[in-house]
Amino acid sequence: MDHLGYRMKFGVIGPSTNTIVQPDFDDMRPVGVTNHYSRIEIPDFKVDSDESFVHMMESISGNTMQAASVLKTCEMQYLIMGMSAVMFWGGKKGAQAYLDKMREHVGVEVSCGSFALEAALNAYGARRIAFLSPYYPVANAEARQFFEDCGFTVVRDICLRRPSPVQIAHTTDQMCRDAINELNGDDVDAIVQLGTNLSMVRLAAAAELFLDKPIIAINTATYWHALRQCGIQDKVQGLGRLLSHY
């Protein structure tokens, strides 16, 4: 039995440019659970169009399996994918195929942002949603298709069009607050944030208190999903109702 990870050893993969998902996940980690990271090596691409965004996604996807293989050597018990856009591509069917491929490759069960958000929205009972992302329209279209395939109605969405992978982590609270306010309305049951390198865990938790509806950050949903899939029911306070109540 691992001395620190005596309840669970999570492997986590994410792009090398991502500086948010690791501290976010570590803040949610219960005692006896450990997180072990492997980075998907990519350059800090300039992203200024749908085409350059797709090029970035292809680079991430091409190196993902190698990064996951590294984690086999620590005998991880479960894998968390700390990258999101790839896991919405091709709608629910495409995302499921990628998830199945990853499970077969690593030999353990896997949580990813797309299906974690589906589970979180179902836990809240939300059906009509709005979402924001740091992406470009081509990626938002794929995310919209995924959510619609899962039976949700997407009322509206916003893409922040961040200029590079590293710059996603430089997105300000004001940018996110403005997006939440633009997305909110009586016609929306829940607001969802995509992009694991976008820091919105605490802002989402605060926004829930004032807007009185679920505001779900993808990093919160993904780690929550992994914990619950592994039978770990610990409630984490201060990071939103998903972790504290479900």
Q: Which long-range contacts (CB under 8 A, 24 or more apart) does 44-47 make?
A: 44/17, 44/164, 44/165, 44/166, 45/164, 45/165, 46/163, 46/164, 47/136, 47/161, 47/162, 47/163, 47/164, 47/165
What confidence tens digit (pLDDT) does each residue in 44-77 have? 989 999 999 998 888 887 789 999 999 999 999 9
The pLDDT score that the predictor gives to residue 6 is: 98
pLDDT the model gives residue 59: 80
Environment class of residue 107 by beta-carbon count within 10 Å: exposed (0-12), middle (13-18) or buried (19+)?
exposed
What pLDDT does residue 57 have?
A: 84
Query: Taking the mean position of all CA atoms in its chain, how far away is CA 185?
Result: 23
In tens digits, the chain (246 residues) has pLDDT values of: 999 999 999 999 999 999 999 999 999 999 999 999 999 998 998 999 999 999 888 888 778 999 999 999 999 999 999 998 999 999 999 999 999 999 999 999 999 999 999 999 999 999 999 999 999 999 999 999 999 999 999 999 999 999 999 999 999 999 999 999 999 999 999 999 999 999 999 999 999 999 999 999 999 999 999 999 999 999 999 999 999 999
Cβ atoms within 10 Å, residue 100: 11
3-state helix, strand, coil split of the chain in percent (to 5) is: 50, 15, 35
Residue with tokens 């942002």: 113
Question: How many C-beta atoms surround the C-beta of residue 39 within 10 A?
Answer: 17
**In this predicted structure, what is the pLDDT of residue 45?**
84
Domains of the chain: 8-114+220-239 (3.40.50.12500), 115-217 (3.40.50.12500)
For the chain, give me the number of helices (H) and strands (E)?
10, 8
